[in-house]
Structure 1
Amino acid sequence: MGEFLEWDAYRLSAAIAAGQITAVELMRATLDRVAQVNPSVNAIVSLRPEAELMAEARAADMVPAKGPLHGMPMAVKDLANVAGLPTSMGSPLFAGKPALTSDIMVQRMQDAGALIIGKTNTPEFGLGSHTYNPVFGATQNALLPGCTAGGSSGGAAVALATRMVCLADGSDMMGSLRNPAGWNGVYGMRPTWGRVPAEPVGEMFLHQLSTNGPMARCPRDVAMLLDVQAGADPRQPFGLPDEPFMDHVQADVTGRRIAWLGDWGGAYPMEAGVLEACAEGVARFADAGCVVEEVSPPFDAAALWEAWITLRSWAVAAKLGPIYDQPAMRDQLKPEAVWEVERGRALSGAEIQRASAIRSDWFRTVVRLFDEYDAFVLPTAQCWPFSVEWDWPKEVSGVMMDTYHRWMEVVVPVSLIGLPCLGVPMTGPRPMGLQIAGRPRDDIGVLQLGEAWHGIS
């Protein structure tokens, strides 16, 4: 019993709906797997009591399937609220404090039948692409023990890769769904802005950098979870209408044109071997019938970085500013968070306007790029998974990194303008991944390319 933990989520969902597997059997196997694996990788935190979870599984078996996730155990990233579970965000300031309600994305998963077993580990406040924090410690890479899982959805990626769950949620500001997917052999989708709504709280117009999204072990499962998470919320200004994904993820991609951007003409330093490994992965698109062309950088990388760090620091300062303003709480923030707040608060209105203008110029440029190509492809990171003991890489290929996130600059072209992007894995001797970025709002086109690429592996 438990071999079904290896199954894809869509197969598992069908088996539960047909009565071939019970929610109790699945929960029992899941908890056994967590007990066996989690102590060594530290991916799932705030695990709920076994008695409660088994009771919920028995209750699920007593009623008809309420949705595609019926009876399926899931763990939610520890930046999102689950009613009754603590949302620590990796910070001692919030550890142990239970949420009163579930966030809209979480509630949608629960309404579709998911049984939430706990949370998945994340960096403090999700800052940095390395999952460690003073509350729960570090998460180990699923494929390279002793190395980082990436982040900030590192716990989610490792829980998937180690077969503790078959679906996971995550969020992505600067590669947080894409980088851990590539480094742990799974798939992570950053949807178009507005596809998966955040909470309708606080400021909702200006700070559009991050989004929630799905993770899984194959693109079809990513599409299945996106079907559940997506859909406009009338309380929010930038929502997109419902659109089916899983039923359309399989398609003939023959003739679709792929732009390979590599290291952006040398602008992004890459650790030895990364570009070569990624080039081999890109070649698989040709095997799927796509036309692949190496393309010169369509925009100045320095300008993209200037816009990004301006808008990011401005957004982080707005979010964490109330904590920073209380000296006793400020002392418990990690240095990177303090740096972001102080930098963001020092920005002038003119600097923010300039960053927004650069972002707009890049959007106009990428629209023209997509007149000729259906997607562009980049690596998911600029270096291989590094030691779990590090805080962040201080240099890449001999180039000093001047910020804690500069080594992830390769994700900025997508994040800055909110393109749909799927992180796909390449699991060689050292794991790496590719970003498949598509036209604005063409999430299904990106998923179709990912599914075709997956079929070649």
Structure 2
Amino acid sequence: MQGAPQTSFTGPELCAKSALEVVTLLKSGAVSPAEVLEASLQRIAQVEPAVNAVVTPCAARARNALGLLPGRAAKNASQPGWLAGLPIGVKDLTPVSGVRTTWGSLAFKDFVPQHTDPLIARLEERGAIVVGKTNTPEFGAGGNTTNAVFGPTRNPWNVALNAGGSSGGAAVSLATGEVWLSHGSDLAGSLRTPAAYSGVIGLRPSPGRAGGANEALGFSIEGVQGPMARTVADCALFLDAMAGFDPVWPVSIEAPRTPFLDAVLRAPQDVRIGYAPDLGGFAFVDPAIRAVLDGAMRAVEGAGGTVEIDCPDLPGLAPTYRTLRAMFWAALPGRAPAEVQAFYKPTLRQNIAQGRALSADAIHDAQRGRAALYQSVRRFLERFDVLAFPVMGVPAGPVEQEFPPEIDGQPITDYVEWLRFSYLSVVTGLPALSMPAGFLPDGMPVGLQLLGPPRGEARLLAAARAVELALGGPLGPIDPRD
């Protein structure tokens, strides 16, 4: 991949393989689930002091879960997405029974749930072994993964820098080879930003494709759960494991007849891409990032793809997104007991206050604005397989910095403003994927974002595979670098 720095990997050999390779070995009996689990635990112990990604390992629970695999295999081994005993990480916003779940908040620093989130229970039934909880900012509010319970997660490409957020622990656990697949969630790029900064894949699926929102907001489509991996094929495998209808989620949708992994394995190279390097002037981009993405698009063209600089009309995207986001925060953490809210950080309080201050007209306008944006992008994607644009307009900053003060000389007023490239997928409900596109001169990865058509994860993943091949990817795991 263009500009890739020299890296090393000193972990167990199994940890350097893709998830698909390891699952194939597990299915054939060439390796045992116990061997794979111990390799994961060994790597976690090896790199955690440097990166702080898997903040709550659960080795005893994972070893006990191995005994349940034969019964689960009898029911599910022939189904798409069977993981056959592969260890995974789970973001610390999502409960796993018997494992401390903190939401990154001091209010829950000792909380141990009795029940597992339905999506994670589905993954366990489909052969996943939960090996630990991954770090997140408080209640997922932030583009830098740090909190008062566990402290910051560090970027493995340069441990002085941040890993993005809010699924930063998940992304880093993949980039360092602690796990092969890691669960995340996304409201403002939380699956995409850390994937871009860590050189991995993060997919924000269509609402209902991979479970649903918190039960209290079951009809909400702004916050979704989704898969993270090191390769496009692994991401598709993980999405197959997550997919399927369950009435517990009001927005849940059926799994496709053809597995997502099949779409990736059959991906053609003649992908059609609409490329909008600043989303039609909507967001600022550092020139160094623009240069990497421009080079990636030239590589796609050289491999047989078609790239056209174009962008759909995006009327009212910023106010529409900010209104919907504010509603989400006011309705969820904003309704927590006062003794919980007493611990909230200032930016979380600010989000909630904005939601409470919304006028009825602002809410009405956001609903109309969302519909107009959806139709505009839907029509645009009748001409292209995907819309391509940056994940982030600025490189990763110091680990101590919550958000950058400026992008390309333009001031940033709050921590949501620097995440503008994340808005479009959230507002329209269209699936979006972050993937490595190359490297900056200092050796830090740059992420490319691809936006797919309605419920178009198969087309999105196939396009991502074509780009991955054109760029010489995927990237393998690395040892943390100073």
Common fold by TM > 0.5: yes
**What letter is aligned with 2:310?**
V
C-alpha change, 1:317 and 1:296, in structure 2 (3 Å) is: same
**What letter is aligned with 1:362?**
L
Per the alignment, in what secondary structure is the counterpart of residue 107 of structure 2? coil
Match of 2:289 in 1: 274
CA contact (8 A) 2:267 2:465 kept: no
CA contact (8 A) 1:87 1:95 kept: yes
CA contact (8 A) 2:213 2:221 kept: no
Percentage identity across paired residues of the two chains: 34
CA contact (8 A) 2:222 2:325 kept: yes
Per the alignment, in what secondary structure is the counterpart of residue 215 of structure 2? coil
Runs of 4+ with deviation above 6 angstroms: none
Per the alignment, in what secondary structure is the counterpart of residue 159 of structure 2? coil
C-alpha change, 1:374 and 1:51, in structure 2 (3 Å) is: closer
Deviations, residues 222-244 of structure 1 (Å, cap 9, x unaligned): 11110110111123332221112
**What letter is aligned with 2:427?**
L
Aligned mates of 1:233, 1:357 — CA distance in 2: 29
C-alpha change, 1:306 and 1:16, in structure 2 (3 Å) is: same
1:214 equivalent in alignment to 2:227? yes
1:40 equivalent in alignment to 2:54? no
1:31 equivalent in alignment to 2:25? no
Question: What is the 5 A alignment of 1:172-321?
Answer: 172-198=186-212, 201-205=215-219, 207-243=220-256, 244-296=259-311, 298-300=313-315, 303-321=316-334
Query: Of 104, 110, 132, which aligns to 1:118?
Result: 132
1:407 equivalent in alignment to 2:418? yes
Q: Compute the displacement of 1:59 (Å).
A: 6.6
**What letter is aligned with 1:414?**
S
C-alpha change, 1:81 and 1:51, in structure 2 (3 Å) is: closer
Q: Which runs of 5+ in 1 are unaligned?
A: none
What is the TM-score with the length of structure 2 in the denominator?
Answer: 0.89
Aligned mates of 1:51, 1:231 — CA distance in 2: 29
Aligned mates of 2:298, 2:110 — CA distance in 1: 48
C-alpha change, 1:33 and 1:203, in structure 2 (3 Å) is: closer
**What letter is aligned with 2:364?**
Q
CA contact (8 A) 1:22 1:61 kept: no
Aligned mates of 2:73, 2:367 — CA distance in 1: 50
Q: Compute the displacement of 1:33 (Å).
A: 0.9
Match of 1:85 in 2: 99
Match of 2:183 in 1: 169
Per the alignment, in what secondary structure is the counterpart of residue 428 of structure 2? coil
1:418 equivalent in alignment to 2:429? yes
**What letter is aligned with 1:23?**
P
**What letter is aligned with 2:48?**
N
Query: Of 319, 332, 335, which aligns to 2:343?
Result: 332
C-alpha change, 1:315 and 1:64, in structure 2 (3 Å) is: closer
Aligned mates of 1:254, 1:70 — CA distance in 2: 31
C-alpha change, 1:292 and 1:70, in structure 2 (3 Å) is: same
CA contact (8 A) 2:274 2:311 kept: no
Q: Which has the higher contact order (CA 8 A, sep 6+)?
A: 2
CA contact (8 A) 1:91 1:135 kept: yes
Query: Of 156, 165, 175, which aligns to 1:151?
Result: 165
1:108 equivalent in alignment to 2:119? no
Aligned mates of 1:200, 1:210 — CA distance in 2: 9
Range that drifts further, 314-323 or 156-165: 314-323
Range that drifts further, 314-323 or 263-272: 263-272
Deviations, residues 288-345 of structure 1 (Å, cap 9, x unaligned): 4221001145224xx100111111011111101223x61x433310111111111100
Aligned mates of 1:17, 1:372 — CA distance in 2: 40
Match of 2:153 in 1: 139
CA contact (8 A) 1:170 1:215 kept: yes
Q: Compute the displacement of 1:64 (Å).
A: 5.6
Match of 2:27 in 1: 17
Per the alignment, in what secondary structure is the counterpart of residue 308 of structure 2? strand
Aligned mates of 2:115, 2:183 — CA distance in 1: 17
Match of 1:5 in 2: 15
Q: How many residues align structurally? A: 451
C-alpha change, 1:331 and 1:51, in structure 2 (3 Å) is: closer
Aligned mates of 1:420, 1:99 — CA distance in 2: 31
Match of 2:7 in 1: none
Q: Compute the displacement of 1:208 (Å).
A: 1.8
CA contact (8 A) 1:61 1:71 kept: no
Match of 1:369 in 2: 380
Q: Compute the displacement of 1:183 (Å).
A: 0.9
Aligned mates of 1:418, 1:313 — CA distance in 2: 17
1:357 equivalent in alignment to 2:368? yes
**What letter is aligned with 1:47?**
P
Q: Compute the displacement of 1:58 (Å).
A: 6.5
Per the alignment, in what secondary structure is the counterpart of residue 281 of structure 2? coil
CA contact (8 A) 2:202 2:227 kept: yes
What is the TM-score with the length of structure 1 in the denominator?
Answer: 0.94
C-alpha change, 1:351 and 1:15, in structure 2 (3 Å) is: same
Aligned mates of 1:33, 1:397 — CA distance in 2: 38
CA contact (8 A) 1:186 1:218 kept: yes
Aligned mates of 2:145, 2:192 — CA distance in 1: 14
CA contact (8 A) 1:385 1:431 kept: no
CA contact (8 A) 2:312 2:376 kept: no
1:397 equivalent in alignment to 2:412? no
Q: Compute the displacement of 1:261 (Å).
A: 0.5
Q: Compute the displacement of 1:364 (Å).
A: 1.2
CA contact (8 A) 1:253 1:290 kept: no
CA contact (8 A) 2:180 2:230 kept: yes
Query: Of 346, 354, 368, which aligns to 1:343?
Result: 354
Per the alignment, in what secondary structure is the counterpart of residue 419 of structure 1? coil
Aligned-residue CA RMSD in angstroms? Answer: 1.9
